[in-house]
Structure 1
Amino acid sequence: MRFEELQLHDATINCITYLWEAKALSVIGECFSREGGKVVGFTLTFDSVTGVSIPHIEEWGPSSCINSANFKPPLHHYIEMQSGDVIAIEAAGFKFSA
């Protein structure tokens, strides 16, 4: 699945962890399941991370919810929050599990 096809709209981010030596970033949160509309936990893991930006300005107001996810080849992954902040991750790849 492509990054921008992940069903992350209205998902909530609970925690972001970066492991320096492993160059791995994990986003842990909760999203709605396609089956039954139940809330389930998810982990989004990025590998071979070479850059990350996590602003927390909340220009549109406070929110822990995701608005959209976008990808610009070859390495740029963007998570736009409903607060207006955009989390930017430069990484070779990602894995999503829910």
Structure 2
Amino acid sequence: MTLDTPTLSAIAAMAVVTYLTRIAGLFVADRLVLTGRAKAAFDAIPPAVLVSVIAPTALTTGWAEAIAAAITAVAAFRLPLLATIAVGVASVVVLRNLI
């Protein structure tokens, strides 16, 4: 396999742009003063990203995982994080053995 100059340049340019985007986010986030709806929107980003990563896996692997994901979601509204993780792991183990 050989790398030609345009391909290598494109890879390097994409790496630089990705790095600058990440670094810029750190500098800009400290200077933003968010109130009201903007603050609520920024606070909703981490859970939205987490759901977008977990949901496809939970819903395409089988019934046990889908039901365990629903149980874990309900537990997340009532329990602290560590307890929610324990409920999720326990429910998927039990459901995999039953289904």
Please say whether Structure 1 and Structure 2 have the same fold, judged by a TM-score greater than 0.5.
no
TM-score range, shorter chain: under 0.3
TM-score by length of 2: 0.21
Tell me which structure has the larger Cα radius of gyration: 2
More strand by share: 1
In terms of fraction of residues, the more helix-rich structure is 2
